[in-house]
Structure 1
Amino acid sequence: MKKRLLALFTALALAAALAGCGGGAPAPTAQSGAGSSPEGGELTGTVTVWSWDLALVQLQVEAEKFQQLHPGVEFQFEEMGTSQVYSKLTTCLQSGIGLPGVVTIEGEQMAKFGSKFPGKFYDFTGRVNAADYLDVKIGEATVGGKLLAWPWDSAPCALYYRTDLFEQAGVDPASIVTWDDLVAAGTQIKEKTGVDLLPLPTTYNDTLYRLMLMQQGTFYFDEAGNTVVDSAESIRAMSMIQKLYQAGITYDQNSWDDFVAAITGSKVACAPDAVWEAGTFIDAAADQSGKWAVMELPRFDAEVPVKGSSNGGSVLAVPAQSESPEAAAAFVEFAMTDMDTSGFTERTIYPSYIPLLNDPVFSEGLDYFGGQPIYELFAKVGQDVTQVNYTENFAEAIDLAKNAVTKVTLNGEDPTAVMQALQKELVEKFGK
């Protein structure tokens, strides 16, 4: 297993990025026929791909197979981090110059690009069979009612836990149904072993709050894009975070390094996170093989089944003004419907393509997790994650929600008052 793909976001001024986008006349649009093939003809053109880390490697593998079917298509690959991709993409979209044929974008960021640059991305509506993909990924790829990207990797979440610490503390994992059950278990684990229950960022991010929102079928924004962080579900989620913190059973995590230290140093008994985190456990804590297992996240009410939660994943988009948009779109379709499991088995890219998730490889047990077929559990969770509306305001909302976490944990402020204040602040900032 390899380590997870990194995720960051920055902005770059237009003048600085124009040099990176190159010069010359604007590239033809998707409607101009550049790179397309007449009906029954052959695809031709050059497709430039922007991506990062293992995602780029996987796209290179897919391109080699694609070229066997379409030798008239050439590929150029550029590896860059997410911040560089977003900075360069922003300014190239503004100028219409130097755009890639295919670009990897985090699913949560697609709404921002699609909304800010209407008409600038290839429309896959009608080309993607939505029933073949996890619902949450279709939501990420949809902007303004159009599929402006193709779903790729997914990130369903569950609770990783240390079986040996649970056993040492006399806690039966099967007894944990609700978050209140987990708090009680955490108290017992801390008393018996001295180990904290889970890492909890107090200033670093709001991920746990977000997972709890999704469990309850809500998010920062409703379907119409209105801010709803003062909802009963939102307040309940933030109240539970405060409860976990005030129970004295959380490990203060304020960086990625803190998380790794918590795992490798046996400082926590649990970690709620996405499927890609399995690679972190296997790589960074190899000496703990056989001591970890996975269960579904606890729910708020024992009698009320929860929705699934997601944290991460990406989509593939095709800028409409790229050199060969039709060839690029055909490549994306080919790569995203390939039934080859090597992207997962060799590069730990967990797919959102349901037919691929039905492959037997996702039902195999992992020695590291005591022989448990954890990916089977994640596949089930993934199909329970409903669409959420990230909107173009997601990045700003995260920063402010993160501050709310700080207020209810470190400052001990009332969650209801904090979320009502956050609602007012976001509405004033976004207009709704």
Structure 2
Amino acid sequence: MSTSEKTFLPNALTTNPSISRRTFISTATGTLVAAAGLAACGGSASSNDLNSTSGTITIWDRSGDLFQVFDATKESFNKKYPNIKVKHVAVDVDAKLPSTLATGVNVPDGAFYEDNNLPVLAAKYYDITDWIKPYTKDIVPFKLRVNTYNGRIVGIPWDLDPGLLYYREDMLQQAGVDPQSIETYDDLLTAAHNIQDKFGPKVKPIHLEQDPGLTQLWVEMFANQQGVSMVNEQGKLQLNSQPYLNIMNFLKRIRDENLGTRAVYYSPGDIAAIEADQVAFYPWAIWAVYGPELLFKKSKGKWRAMPLPAWTKGGTRAAVMGGSSFIIPKKAKNPHLAWLYYEHLVFSPEGYRAVYGPNKIYPGGLNTSMPSYLPALKEPLFKNPAGLGDQDLWQVATGTVNNIPGNFTYATWYNQAVTYFGTNVQRMLDGQMTPQQVLDKSTSDIQTKLIARS
């Protein structure tokens, strides 16, 4: 990751529109694009196309380290398709793509896009259902679901961001806490109390997110773990439900029992608290490994990762937090050529090894996300991170994949809901609302101000 990106926060859901998850972790710069002309074939491109396809595709991606990683994949792609030129352009995708698709002027052949943004422009994406059909059985169900609209697949699933519990192994050892004893979120609270008893009240062991946008993303990880999302597949609100009440009660207990270090993810204050040994647990996406790897100094190598605790004993310990995909606009000039590139990038060993394996940009490989294509998970693609004491992060993360609930839907108004839901969760953490009031108020606001007006 470039030094210019280290001060930013992840996800386009934050209250600051210039802050995005991918800007921060550089973890998914979708590059290459488009797809179309194969519709008559009813499937993905075959080997017969190798010498008969030619043209130029324009692929939009964000600038940064991953732009260079994806750019380097063109060499292996052109060994297969020597007559397809990839014009790789660095743009602010979030800012430029919506207006470009709306006007239909200078539309790229493909672009990277955050999963939470996908539904807003879904009607303007190329239907790739037939092309991707040979691969669908091997794509993580969660990722296939968020790229499906009106029963058709309109996006190419790329990265998978499993939720994990990062913890300070040395602090747990000194407090006599066995990580294996943390099977549920109740167990996590008990472990946090034990650590606080050992190290004193200044230690508030569990990270408690303070940014409204990241809070909403975080809560959705906990919701996905319980098999729900803010809306169901029919678009009906599900906020006022037991799974979300479980989450609110858990967060409020962290606050009320003085167990939470409340800070914005990897902000200066958050890092300072971590380096002062005040934080021992960080339930977050895999991309939080960036902290132990590149941000933390004093505690580097002392962190470890494990599956999330379960909401009920024996329940699933797997979930997703964030993610991104690739889209091919309907008005792309060469959609079928862009599909060939994405097919190479996402579904071929040469493609996903080039992205996730050791390279000039990431000598140890890209470890802040994982492929969502199951065959790519059969071999470790990145090295054990030194920030986790050379722990086998690949094994820990892939061990959760088969248990990730696939029943998840992003609403078209997801980002706008931060003003209501994400903000109300913060009000609860300020002591201004109860868990039930958060759900009641957020449901009412979203229903009247977002759904009814859409």
Give the Cα separation in 2 of the matches to 1:55 and 1:390: 25
Q: TM-score scaled to structure 1, two decimals? A: 0.86
Residues 163-312 of structure 1 mapped to structure 2, 5 A cutoff: 163-194=169-200, 195-204=203-212, 205-206=214-215, 207-254=217-264, 256-257=266-267, 258-302=269-313, 304-306=314-316, 308-312=318-322
Contact 2:70 2:355 (8 Å CA) reproduced: no
Which residue of structure 1 aligns with residue 389 of structure 2?
370
Residues 75-86 of structure 1 mapped to structure 2, 5 A cutoff: 75-80=86-91, 84-86=92-94
Residues 268-417 of structure 1 mapped to structure 2, 5 A cutoff: 268-302=279-313, 304-306=314-316, 308-340=318-350, 341-346=353-358, 347=362, 348=366, 349-361=369-381, 365-387=384-406, 388-417=408-437
- 1:234 offset after TM fit, Å? 0.9
Letter of the aligned partner of 2:131 in structure 1? Answer: R
Give the Cα separation in 1 of the matches to 2:332 and 2:385: 42
- CA, structure 1 residues 336+95, in 2 after alignment: closer, same or farther (shift >3 Å)? same
Give the Cα separation in 2 of the matches to 1:221 and 1:71: 45
Give the Cα separation in 1 of the matches to 2:17 and 2:265: 21
Letter of the aligned partner of 1:55 in structure 2? Answer: L
Which of 119, 122, 139 aligns to 1:111? It is 119
Which residue of structure 1 aligns with residue 101 of structure 2?
93
Which of 125, 139, 160 aligns to 2:129? It is 125
- 1:365 offset after TM fit, Å? 4.6
Give the Cα separation in 1 of the matches to 2:205 and 2:234: 37
Give the Cα separation in 2 of the matches to 1:421 and 1:365: 44
Contact 2:56 2:86 (8 Å CA) reproduced: yes
Contact 1:66 1:334 (8 Å CA) reproduced: yes
- 1:177 offset after TM fit, Å? 1.4
Residue ranges of structure 1 left out of the alignment (5+ in a row): 13-27
Residues 62-73 of structure 1 mapped to structure 2, 5 A cutoff: 62-73=73-84
Letter of the aligned partner of 1:93 in structure 2? Answer: L
Give the Cα separation in 2 of the matches to 1:399 and 1:411: 18
Give the Cα separation in 2 of the matches to 1:266 and 1:338: 43
Contact 1:199 1:262 (8 Å CA) reproduced: no
- CA, structure 1 residues 246+333, in 2 after alignment: closer, same or farther (shift >3 Å)? same
Residue ranges of structure 2 left out of the alignment (5+ in a row): 19-33
Which residue of structure 1 aligns with residue 12 of structure 2?
8
Letter of the aligned partner of 1:144 in structure 2? Answer: N
Moved more, 277-286 or 253-262: 253-262
- CA, structure 1 residues 344+399, in 2 after alignment: closer, same or farther (shift >3 Å)? farther
1:43 alignment partner, SS class: coil
Deviation track 1:38-73 (CA, whole Å, cap 9, x = no partner) reads: 975621221111112343223212222212222221
- 1:397 offset after TM fit, Å? 2.2
Contact 1:214 1:307 (8 Å CA) reproduced: no
Q: TM-score scaled to structure 2, two decimals? A: 0.82
Give the Cα separation in 2 of the matches to 1:309 and 1:259: 24
- CA, structure 1 residues 127+271, in 2 after alignment: closer, same or farther (shift >3 Å)? same
Moved more, 198-207 or 235-244: 198-207
Give the Cα separation in 1 of the matches to 2:195 and 2:396: 25
Contact 2:163 2:319 (8 Å CA) reproduced: yes
Moved more, 46-55 or 3-12: 3-12
- 1:122 offset after TM fit, Å? 1.9
Give the Cα separation in 1 of the matches to 2:419 and 2:403: 27
**1:151 maps to 2:157:** yes
Letter of the aligned partner of 2:356 in structure 1? Answer: F
- CA, structure 1 residues 358+66, in 2 after alignment: closer, same or farther (shift >3 Å)? same
- CA, structure 1 residues 391+144, in 2 after alignment: closer, same or farther (shift >3 Å)? farther
- 1:286 offset after TM fit, Å? 4.4
- CA, structure 1 residues 59+371, in 2 after alignment: closer, same or farther (shift >3 Å)? closer
Contact 2:230 2:411 (8 Å CA) reproduced: no
Deviation track 1:308-366 (CA, whole Å, cap 9, x = no partner) reads: 2211221111112122111111111111112142422334152111111101446x654
1:126 alignment partner, SS class: helix
Which of 48, 51, 71 aligns to 1:60? It is 71
Letter of the aligned partner of 1:105 in structure 2? Answer: Y
- 1:367 offset after TM fit, Å? 4.5
Contact 2:161 2:287 (8 Å CA) reproduced: yes
Give the Cα separation in 2 of the matches to 1:280 and 1:99: 36
Give the Cα separation in 2 of the matches to 1:32 and 1:193: 63
Contact 1:157 1:309 (8 Å CA) reproduced: yes
- CA, structure 1 residues 8+244, in 2 after alignment: closer, same or farther (shift >3 Å)? same
- CA, structure 1 residues 149+54, in 2 after alignment: closer, same or farther (shift >3 Å)? farther
Give the Cα separation in 2 of the matches to 1:243 and 1:214: 20
- 1:255 offset after TM fit, Å? 5.3
- CA, structure 1 residues 29+356, in 2 after alignment: closer, same or farther (shift >3 Å)? closer
- CA, structure 1 residues 360+307, in 2 after alignment: closer, same or farther (shift >3 Å)? closer
Percent of pairs with identical residues: 23
Deviation track 1:254-286 (CA, whole Å, cap 9, x = no partner) reads: 354143333334331011111122132111124
Which residue of structure 2 aligns with residue 46 of structure 1?
56
Give the Cα separation in 2 of the matches to 1:336 and 1:309: 21
Give the Cα separation in 2 of the matches to 1:32 and 1:284: 46
- CA, structure 1 residues 408+135, in 2 after alignment: closer, same or farther (shift >3 Å)? same
Letter of the aligned partner of 1:322 in structure 2? Answer: A
Which residue of structure 2 aligns with residue 18 of structure 1?
none
Give the Cα separation in 1 of the matches to 2:325 and 2:45: 25
Contact 2:162 2:397 (8 Å CA) reproduced: yes
- CA, structure 1 residues 264+226, in 2 after alignment: closer, same or farther (shift >3 Å)? same
Give the Cα separation in 1 of the matches to 2:386 and 2:236: 46
- CA, structure 1 residues 183+11, in 2 after alignment: closer, same or farther (shift >3 Å)? closer
